[in-house]
Amino acid sequence: MGLLTQDEYKAIAAGLDLPTAAFIDGAFRPAISGSTFETVNPATGEKLADIAACGAEDVDFAVTKAREAFDDGRWSRLHPSDRKDVLIRLAKLMTRNARELAVMESIDSGKTIYDCETVDVPETIRCIKWHAELIDKIYDQVSPASDDHIAMVVREPVGVVGLVLPWNFPLLMLAWKIGPALAAGCSVVVKPAAETTLTALRVAELAMEAGLPRGVLNVVPGHGAEVGEPIGRHMDIDAVSFTGSTATGKRFLTYSAESNAKEVTLEMGGKNPAIVMDDAENLDRVAQHIVNGAFWNMGENCSASSRLIVHKSVKADLLARIAHHAKQWNVGDPLDPETRMGALVSKAHYDKVCGYLDKAENIILGGKADKGFVEATVVEVPGNDHELAREEIFGPVLSVIEVSGFDEAINLANDTDYGLCASIFTANVKRAIRGARSLRAGTVTVNSFGEGDSTTPFGGFKQSGFGGRDNGIHAHDQYTQLKTIWIDLADDADEAVD
Which residues are known catalytic residues? 267, 302
Closest alpha carbon to 207 in 193, 222, 226, 188: 188
Do 380 and 367 touch, CB atoms closer than 8 A? no
CB-based burial label for 426 (10 Å; 0-12, 13-18, 19+): buried
CB atoms within 10 A of CB 258: 10
Bridge partners of 150, per DSSP, are: 487
Helix 6-14 × helix 98-109 angle, to 10°: 90
Residues listed for the chain: 498
- Alpha helices for 234-359 (secondary structure H): 246-257, 283-295, 315-326, 347-358
- Residue 94: HSE in the Cβ half-sphere, 13 Å Cα cutoff: 30
Q: Could you give the CA distance from residue 318 to residue 324 in angstroms, rounded to a whole number? A: 10
Closest alpha carbon to 40 in 269, 369, 350, 410: 350
Sign of CA dihedral 97, 99, 102, 108: negative
- Amino acid sitting at position 45: G
Helix 429-438 × helix 406-414 angle, to 10°: 20
Do 225 and 37 touch, CB atoms closer than 8 A? no
- Beta strands of 381-464 (E only): which ranges? 397-403, 418-419, 421-425, 443-446, 461-462
Sign of CA dihedral 481, 482, 488, 489: positive
Angle of CA points 416, 418, 422, to nearest 5°: 90
- Residue 447: HSE in the Cβ half-sphere, 13 Å Cα cutoff: 15
Helix 315-326 × helix 283-295 angle, to 10°: 60
Q: What is the CA radius of gyration of the chain?
A: 24
